[in-house]
Chains A and B, each alone.
Chain A
Amino acid sequence: MRVNVKYFASIRESVGTGAEQVETTAATLGALRDELIARGGAHAQSLARGRAVRVALNQVMSAEDAALSEGCEVAFFPPVTGG
Chain B
Amino acid sequence: MVARVAIQTQDFDVAAEIAALRAQDKRVGAICTFIGTVRDRNDGSTISTMELEHYPGMTEKSIEAMIDEAFKRFDIYTARVIHRVGLLQPLDQIVLVVVTSAHRGESFQACEFLMDYLKTQAPFWKKEQTPEGARWVDARVSDDAALARWGITSGNLAP
Q: Name A's B-contacting residues (CB within 8 A).
A: 6, 8-10, 49-54, 56, 59-61, 75, 77-83
Contacts and interface: CB of A to CB of B under 8 A. Distances in A.
A49 B159 contact: yes
Contacts, number: 86
Contact of A79 (B53, B95, B156): B156
A82 B159 contact: no
Interface residues of B, number: 32
Contact of A80 (B36, B57, B122, B127): B122
Interface string B123-159: 1111100000000111100000000000000011111
Interface of B: 36, 52-55, 57-58, 61-62, 83, 94-95, 115, 118-127, 136-139, 155-159
Contacts of A79: 120, 138-139, 156-157
